Chains A and B, each alone.
Chain A
Amino acid sequence: MSAPTSHFAPLARLLHWLMALMIIAMLFIGAGMAASVSERHEWLLNLHKPLGIAILLLVVVRLFVRFATRQPPLPADLPAVQALAAKLSHVLMYALMFVLPLVGWAMISAAGDPVMLSSSLQLPAILPTNPSTFAVLRKAHTFLAYLLFFTVLVHLAAALFHGWVRRDGVLESMLKGKD
């Protein structure tokens, strides 16, 4: 059992790909609804809020799974700067997955709007109504979403670089392997 694993645990991989789908959908939904005045604005918004809360719940589960399972080590011959970039970008992605839904929830609270996940499912406000707080959070929500989008894009490019150019097993560790 002391030998390092070559791949992520199946549950970790399931959560990774499920959340990858949800987060990429979420980023496009957010960008689209903020730039639309058609009926799309409304149905995207109605999708955005429950999906955001689902991501918040899943990221908590995912952090538990991450610390409860073994991670495959990065290849020994990976340049130190790339290894550092990999570690930092993962920390950043985890932080943003957690913070973005919270900022969204907080900004709706600060606007004094009811936090509705459906026509009748309501979450409590997590901040008192305050216009200046709302304005800061609303802008932070957009800024952090773009930061997450670009981090995900770099993550994807790096994964493909491992898989197609370095061919070092890093991409495969998230694709297959049994435990």
Chain B
Amino acid sequence: MVDQLPPARPAKTPLSPASVMLRLAGIGGVVAVILGGFYYVNGTLDSQRLRPKSFINALEHNNGVHSGYRRNHAKGMCVVGYFQGSGDAHALSTAQVFGAGRTPVVGRFALPSGNPYAPDSSVPIRSFALRFTQANGQQWRTGMNSMPVFPVGTPEAFYQMLQAGAPDPATGKPVPGAMPVFFAAHPETAAFLQWVKTAKPSASYATESYNGINAFYLVNAAGQRQAVRWGVIPLGQDAAGATAPNDADYLEQDLAKRLAAGPLKWQLNLTLAEAGDPTADASKTWPAGRKVVNAGTLVLEKAEAQNTGECRDINYDPLILPSGIEGSDDPLLAARSAAYASSYVRRTSEVDQLPQESRP
């Protein structure tokens, strides 16, 4: 078999023209199958599939395009501080953040709308995103909201909700009756609607509790996994006014004023699931009385304008997690991660178009 000479080419009988055509068609067939497979996988040949950009396009359709801003939760403010771990969650998770040390935090308060100029009183919901940077370089990012549950449990239902909120092209306003029709068709929204009934736009970001809503797993040194939901509750904050002042931008002023007077604190709570508590459905509450672990204290020291502050360039992707925290089977987590990435590349492309604010 070992032959130092180039093997003599076996004399080949020439191919007939029909055979050449057949062989070329075979090559074309192979190429076509691969191309078709690739364009199916990338969604081009699967027009019904929800893609990350479907959500971002729907948000832009509903709110208009505000270059440089997040496509959702567009109006907000950066905050900087740290997390002082209590050490009590260390038995549940190996994540460094749950030790007894300090972890630097860059956060962001915001309103849930794609309009960066929405009046603060326009929605009863406030949101709070956090990025913890551990000493080992790993990060924990989370986006929390002031409601206890999400209206829906699946990306498909959330997309339908965005469609129900689309403006009527004739009036530019939401189509009357579209939302009630959506809620009627989605009984899983009941828990959220129950909360909305009594929720009022708060006069301060500082007096709110914020809930992570989606379930995650904590993993300890023994490899044991515990399903949790987390949230923060305010510690010793002065009460906000009973009703929100009649001003479009009072939340930023309130936060700046409070931080000028001293740091603001929240307690980070981990609510431990018991067998049977739903981890895959953010529209469902967990029964009351679940064990709560106080993981430590979040301390905010400084606010920054969102167009120049450190939070501007952070994508608060809920699946950027340190070792010791894992995503659950909640389908909203992957959808949030994918859709945020789509919003992030659009807004980072436009960062030069952001107006530069001078305050606070």
B38, A135: Cβ atoms closer than 8 Å: no
- Which residue of the partner chain, among A36, A114, A153, contacts B137 with CB atoms under 8 Å? A114
Which residues of A are found within 8 Å of B54, using beta-carbon distances? 37
Do residues B4 and A1 form an inter-chain contact, with CB atoms below 8 A? yes
7 nearest CB pairs, A to B: A35-B43, A31-B42, A131-B348, A135-B349, A120-B323, A37-B335, A135-B348
User: What is the 8 Å Cβ interface bit string for chain A, positions 105-137, against chain B (1 contact, 0 not)?
Assistant: 000000111101001101000000111101100
- Bound-state Cα–Cα, A95 to B146, Å: 49
Residues of chain B with a CB closer than 8 A to A6's CB = 6-7
A165 near B9 with CB under 8 A, answer no
B residues contacting the other copy or chain, number (CB 8 A) = 60
Nearest Cβ on chain A to B285's Cβ, whole angstroms: 23
B304-348 CB contact bits vs A (8 Å, 1 = yes)? 000000001111010111010011010101110111000011011
Q: Are B351 and A42 in contact (CB under 8 A)?
A: no
Question: Chain A residues with Cβ under 8 A from B351's Cβ?
Answer: 131-132, 135
The reply to whether B4 and A3 form a contact with Cβ atoms under 8 Å apart is: yes
- A:20-74 near B, CB below 8 Å: 27-28, 31-42
How far, in Å, is A174 (CB) from chain B's closest CB? Answer: 15
Stretch at the interface among A9-17, A84-92, A96-104, A154-162: A154-162
Closest to B336 in A: A37
In-complex Cβ contact of A122 among B15, B42, B138, B314 (8 A): B138
Contact: A178 with B335, CB < 8 Å?
no
Residues of A contacting B349 in the complex (Cβ-Cβ under 8 angstroms): 132, 135, 139
A-B contact count (CB 8 A): 134
Q: Is the CB of A113 within 8 A of B320?
A: yes
Query: Which residue on A lies nearest to B347, using beta carbons?
Result: A131
Q: Judge whether A164 and B338 touch: CB under 8 Å.
A: no
A169–B345 CA distance with the chains assembled, in angstroms: 47
B25 CB, min distance to chain A CBs, angstroms: 10
Contact in complex: B339, A4 (CB < 8 Å): no
Instruction: Assess whether B30 is in contact with A134, with CB atoms less than 8 Å apart.
Output: no
Is B15's CB under 8 angstroms from A165's CB? yes
Can you add 8 more A-B contacts, CB < 8 Å, to A114-B320, A156-B31, A169-B9?
A: A42-B327, A42-B333, A113-B320, A130-B313, A131-B351, A153-B35, A156-B30, A165-B27
Q: Which of chain B's residues has its CB closest to A133's CB?
A: B348
B203 to chain A, nearest CB (A): 32
B51 in contact with A36 (CB, 8 Å): yes
Closest B residue by C-beta to A24: B34
From known contacts A31-B41, A157-B30, infer whether A41 and B331 are also in contact, taking CB-CB under 8 Å. Answer: no
Instruction: Indicate if B24 sits at the interface (CB-CB under 8 A).
Output: yes
| Complex Cα gap A116–B325 (Å) | 14
Q: How far apart sit A165 and B136, CA to CA, in the bound complex (Å)?
A: 58
Pick from A37, A41, A134, A153: contact of B31, CB below 8 A: A153
Tell me, in angstroms, the Cα distance from A160 to B136 when the chains sit together: 50
Cβ of B326: which chain A residues have Cβ within 8 Å of it? 119
Chain B residues whose C-beta falls within 8 Å of the C-beta of A114 in the assembled complex: 137-139, 320
Pairwise interchain contact B51-A3, C-beta atoms closer than 8 A: no
Contact partner, A42, options B49, B50, B334, Cβ 8 Å: B334
Within 8 Å by CB of B27, from A3, A132, A138, A164, lies A164
Q: B321: which A residues are within 8 A, CB to CB? A: 119
CB of B124 closer than 8 Å to a CB of A: no
| Neighbouring B residues of A112 by C-beta, 8 Å | 313-314
Q: Find B24's partner among A111, A165, A168 (CB 8 Å cutoff).
A: A165
Decide yes or no whether A149 CB sits under 8 A from chain B: yes
Q: How far is the CB of B333 from chain A (nearest CB, A)?
A: 8
Partner of A38, one of B1, B55, B320, B335: B335
Whole-angstrom distance between the Cβ of A71 and the nearest chain B Cβ: 13
Measured between C-beta atoms, what is the minimum distance from A154 to chain B in Å? 9
Contact A41 B314 (CB under 8 A): no
Q: How close is B65's CB to chain A, nearest CB, in angstroms? A: 16
Which of A1, A34, A113, A138 is B52 in contact with, Cβ under 8 Å? Answer: A34
Cβ contact within 8 Å between A39 and B331: yes
A98 to chain B, nearest CB (A): 22
Contacts A38-B155, A132-B352: A27 and B30 contacting too (C-beta < 8 A)?
Answer: no
Task: Please state if A32 and B42 are interface contacts (CB–CB under 8 Å).
Answer: yes
- Asked if B175 is at the interface (CB within 8 A of a chain A CB), the reply is no
**Are A35 and B138 in contact, with the CB atoms below 8 A?**
no
Q: How far is the CA of A168 from the CA of B333 in the complex (A)?
A: 53
Note all chain A residues with C-beta closer than 8 A to B345: 134-135, 138-139
B135 interface contact, C-beta 8 A: no
